[in-house]
């Protein structure tokens, strides 16, 4: 195992900027902006001095609300240099979600874009804090958000409100800070201190704030970079939102550790813009859940645009159908695309496949534990360790979170006294250490005395040429406890009915696994990173059937 990194995020950027100052770090296609590593580091330092000028202290929380744009990464590394803990707000957050994150995280400062298309972010914040339209030289006073003292608005289509600072205004304020103040602040920081407070994606319920350290984030990312064989010559298409761990850590931080170039193709997810960016910038790496790769391959321009520069990337975040992976490898040319498994609570990766693993292993498993991480499988009720091939709850130990912020009971349930993270995911491990995911503990279907893993049925459905996507989930039943429901999205122009699907499954899955309820849909409720929210499928089913439990 290589020696772990024992530096902070700020020190990482300084190191790369010193080694390759003129290499491209960030390319923002929507604005045409291109930053070298020297420019990126300098802008982060200028902004960090601004944070010092605002009186922000080490360990305080700084919220960031923005679509993918260079300022997102600049603000993150500026916060790291100033010893602040970055709290990311989902780029599509509603006023209720924004209020929850700002209040729960107790953020002292909010750095935000004006909006995605105009000034809608500012308008949303104004609903919570009408005081932001009044000058606030001593800091904002917002009754619903008593901890929020400062708001900084990036340049955009609307000016910063009277109670907020502009991006340029913050940098100008930072110029008044003594030259030695920032180096002294950085000298007092430690790699084992928290660097981020990122919220879980909400696939099974309300998001929780996860505190991760510089050490955990950097070392899981360093493994990801090595495993993808990333180098300074690579160009990574930032095709997932930065506001979640997949984007900011698994992609952006891994690329920066390798000294590679990050390409930002869009402000809001757009498969067409992603494909165009790959062709224009000769991207060598591409990322996303299976749904995003499916969306790209459905586009008319997919076969017209040149994507032969692609070499690697990661498909993760959801079950990976073998037909999708095969097309990505053989048609797209992403020969060394990997599969992986991780959680925000684990500082990202727990396991990954390797570049030269056979295709069937890259689909049927999520790989072996990464360097520095141990994995064990336990029986959920007793905590007893299980043997090879037995399905139980996956537990991981290595680069885990400090805990859930202000949620001691949830932290105690997730992290045991021996440092094991109880992931809530079910899986098994073979003799070579490869992990196979069976599903979420909360998503297991208990039909009578039978335990049914949705993935076992979904994997069969994905082999049908007319089926684009299929999701299997449990719904309430008075006598059996639960029964099986299946929602299906068909390929364009395809035709299929429930009897045909049932006939296709006969003999391929146990009789007890056959769905009782079928529905053909145009899409599924998803998190911003493309993970399907099965708990919402249950709610939608209950609403449609008019049964108790409808949300």
Helix, strand or coil, per DSSP, at residue 219 = helix
Mean pLDDT of 238-258: 96
Q: What is the pLDDT of residues 162-173, one digit of tens each?
A: 999 999 999 999
Query: Of 87, 86, 116, 85, which Cα lies nearest the Cα of 100?
Result: 87
Q: What is the pLDDT of residues 118-157, one digit of tens each?
A: 899 999 999 999 999 999 888 899 989 999 999 999 998 7
Question: What is the Cα–Cα distance from 152 to 165, expressed in whole angstroms?
Answer: 5
**Which CATH architecture is the domain 9-21+33-196 placed in?**
3-Layer(aba) Sandwich (3.40)
Q: What is the pLDDT of residues 362-371, one digit of tens each?
A: 988 999 999 9
Record the tokens describing residue 465, joined without a space: 């040429």
Indicate the average pLDDT of the chain.
Answer: 92
- Residues contacting 449, CB < 8 A, separation 6+: none
Report yes or no: 348 and 217 within 8 Å, Cβ to Cβ: yes
In the chain, pLDDT over 70 holds for what percent of residues?
97
C-alpha to C-alpha distances, 251 to 128, 215, 248, 368, 477, nearest whole angstrom: 33, 17, 6, 19, 42
| Length, in residues, of the chain | 551
Q: What is the pLDDT of residues 261-300, one digit of tens each?
A: 999 999 999 999 999 999 999 999 999 988 899 999 999 9
Q: What's the pLDDT band for 6 if we cut at 50, 70, 90?
A: very high
Strand ranges of the sheet holding 403-404, from the earlier edge strand across to the other edge:
165-166, 150-153, 109-112, 61-65, 85-89, 194-199, 209-213, 403-404
Query: Of 115, 55, 120, 65, which Cα lies nearest the Cα of 87?
Result: 65
Give all strands (DSSP E) within 289-412, no chain letters: 312-316, 336-343, 348-352, 368-369, 374-378, 392-397, 403-404
Q: What is the pLDDT of residues 469-521, one digit of tens each?
A: 999 999 988 888 889 999 999 998 999 999 999 999 999 988 889 999 999 99
Does 9-21+33-196 match 444-545 in CATH topology? no
Helix, strand or coil, per DSSP, at residue 154 = coil
Question: What is the Cα–Cα distance from 368 to 341, expressed in whole angstroms?
Answer: 9
Phi first, then psi: what are they for 352, rounded to 5°?
A: -150, 150
Domain boundaries, the chain: 9-21+33-196, 444-545
Q: What is the pLDDT of residue 448?
A: 76
Question: What is the Cα–Cα distance from 527 to 530, expressed in whole angstroms?
Answer: 5
Q: Which of 135-144, 243-252, 460-469 has the highest mean pLDDT?
A: 243-252
Record the tokens describing residue 183, joined without a space: 């180096």
Q: What is the pLDDT of residue 550?
A: 37
Query: Of 355, 338, 350, which Cα lies nearest the Cα of 375?
Result: 350
Domain 444-545 matching CATH 2.40.50.100: the answer reads no
Q: What is the pLDDT of residue 548?
A: 47
Strand ranges of the sheet holding 435-440, from the earlier edge strand across to the other edge:
374-378, 392-397, 421-429, 435-440
Q: What is the pLDDT of residue 528?
A: 65
Helix, strand or coil, per DSSP, at residue 260 = coil
Question: What is the Cα–Cα distance from 393 to 387, expressed in whole angstroms?
Answer: 12
Q: Rounded to the nearest 10 degrees, how much is the dihedral formed by the CA atoms of 28, 33, 35, 41?
A: -90
In the chain, pLDDT over 90 holds for what percent of residues?
78
């Amino acid at each position: 195992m290589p020696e772990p990194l024992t530096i902070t995020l700020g020190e990482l950027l300084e190191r790369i900027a010193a080694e390759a100052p003129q290499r491209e770090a960030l390319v923002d296609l929507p604005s045409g902006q291109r930053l070298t590593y020297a420019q990126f580091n300098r802008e982060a330092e200028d902004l960090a001095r601004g944070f010092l000028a605002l009186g922000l202290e080490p360990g305080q929380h700084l919220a960031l609300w923005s679509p993918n744009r260079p300022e997102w990464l600049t603000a993150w590394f500026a916060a790291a240099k100033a010893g602040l803990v970055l709290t990311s707000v989902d780029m599509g957050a509603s006023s209720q979600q924004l209020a929850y994150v700002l209040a729960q995280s107790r953020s002292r400062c909010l750095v935000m874009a004006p909006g995605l298309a105009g000034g809608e972010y500012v308008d949303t914040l104004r609903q919570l804090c009408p005081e932001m339209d009044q000058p606030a030289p001593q800091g904002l006073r917002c009754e619903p958000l008593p901890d929020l003292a400062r708001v900084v608005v990036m340049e955009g289509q609307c000016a910063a409100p009277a109670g907020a600072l502009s991006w340029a205004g913050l940098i100008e304020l930072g110029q008044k800070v003594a030259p030695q103040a920032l180096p002294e602040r950085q000298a007092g920081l430690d790699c084992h201190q928290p660097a981020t407070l990122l919220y879980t994606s909400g696939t099974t319920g309300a998001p929780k704030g996860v505190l991760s350290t510089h050490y955990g984030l950097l070392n899981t990312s360093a493994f990801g970079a090595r495993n993808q064989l990333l180098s300074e010559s690579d160009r990574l298409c930032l095709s997932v939102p930065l506001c979640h761990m997949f984007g900011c850590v698994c992609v952006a931080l891994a690329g920066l550790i390798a000294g590679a170039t990050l390409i930002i193709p869009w402000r809001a997810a757009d498969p067409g813009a992603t494909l165009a960016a790959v062709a224009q910038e000769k991207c060598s790496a591409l990322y996303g859940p299976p749904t995003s790769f499916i969306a790209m391959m459905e586009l008319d321009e997919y076969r017209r645009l040149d994507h032969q520069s692609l070499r690697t990337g990661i498909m993760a975040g959801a079950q990976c159908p073998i037909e999708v992976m095969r097309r990505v490898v053989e048609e797209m040319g992403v020969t060394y695309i990997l599969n992986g498994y991780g959680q925000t609570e684990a500082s990202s990766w727990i396991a990954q496949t390797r570049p030269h693993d056979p295709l069937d292993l890259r689909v049927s498993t999520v790989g072996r534990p990464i360097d520095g991480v141990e994995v064990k499988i336990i029986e959920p009720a007793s905590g007893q360790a299980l043997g090879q091939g037995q399905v139980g709850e996956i537990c991981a130990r290595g680069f885990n979170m400090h805990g859930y912020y202000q949620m001691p009971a949830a932290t105690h349930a997730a992290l045991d006294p021996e440092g094991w993270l109880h992931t809530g995911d079910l899986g098994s491990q073979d003799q070579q250490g490869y992990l196979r995911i069976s599903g979420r503990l909360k998503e297991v279907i208990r039909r009578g005395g039978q335990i049914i893993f949705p993935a076992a049925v979904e994997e069969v459905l994905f082999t049908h040429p007319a089926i684009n996507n299929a999701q299997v989930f449990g719904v309430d039943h008075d006598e059996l406890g639960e029964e099986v429901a299946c929602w299906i999205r068909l390929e364009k122009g395809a035709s299929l009915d429930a009897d045909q699907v049932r006939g296709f499954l006969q003999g391929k899955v146990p009789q007890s696994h056959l769905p009782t309820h079928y529905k053909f849909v145009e899409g599924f409720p998803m998190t911003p990173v493309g993970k399907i929210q099965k708990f919402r499928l249950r709610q939608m089913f209950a609403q449609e059937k008019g049964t108790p439990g409808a949300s």
